[in-house]
């Protein structure tokens, strides 16, 4: 199974962190349900073209924080996650995306007012569609 994980080349965030957060986001958004299998460490390493050591680290962290479970010989599966946690993670994901947009805006020397105006315009556009 392929996971829709996209690693950012420009981010300063370590790769294992990116993987962790994206898998968390997939779980929070319901794209990965409780009991769903995750690809093996080797397979994901190949798909993302990174070392299995990095994937192992991400999986270990996810397992430690209770998002996934590994059972010997069977593989890795999505664990049962508290709904409240899912909600807070979802808003976290949105905040992250907005922060990224803000940093790009800063590179183009936008002021706070510019950014707020742009957001408003975009919201308006979406409503009209």
**Which of 2, 4, 6, 9 forms a contact with another protein (CB under 8 A)?**
9
Distance, in Å, from the CA atom of 48 to the CA atom of 82, rounded to the nearest integer, reads 29
Chain residues 88-127 in contact with another protein, contact rule CB under 8 A? 107
Please choose, out of 8-16, 63-71, 90-98, 119-127, the segment that lies near another protein by the rule CB under 8 A. 8-16
Handedness of CA 40, 23, 18, 68 (dihedral sign): negative
- Contacting range for another protein; rule: CB under 8 A; set: 12-20, 27-35, 78-86, 119-127: 12-20
Residues in the chain: 129
Note the helical H segments in 41-82. 41-48, 52-64
Query: Distance between CA 69 and CA 79 in Å, rounded?
Result: 6
- Under the binding rule (CB under 8 A), the answer on residue 42 touching another protein is yes
Contact positions vs another protein (CB under 8 A): 9-10, 14-16, 40, 42-43, 45-46, 49-54, 107
């Amino acid at each position: 199974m392929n996971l829709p994980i996209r690693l950012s080349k420009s981010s300063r965030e370590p790769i294992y962190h990116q993987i962790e957060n994206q898998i968390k986001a997939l779980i929070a958004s319901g794209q990965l349900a409780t009991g769903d299998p995750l690809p093996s460490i080797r397979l994901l390493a190949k798909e993302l073209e990174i070392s299995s050591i990095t994937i192992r680290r991400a999986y270990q962290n996810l397992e430690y924080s209770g998002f996934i479970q590994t059972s010997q010989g069977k593989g890795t599966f999505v664990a049962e996650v508290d709904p409240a946690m899912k909600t807070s993670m979802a808003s976290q994901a949105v905040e992250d995306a907005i922060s990224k947009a803000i940093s790009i805006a800063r590179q183009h020397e936008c002021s706070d007012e510019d950014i707020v105006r742009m957001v408003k315009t975009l919201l308006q556009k979406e409503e009209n569609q």
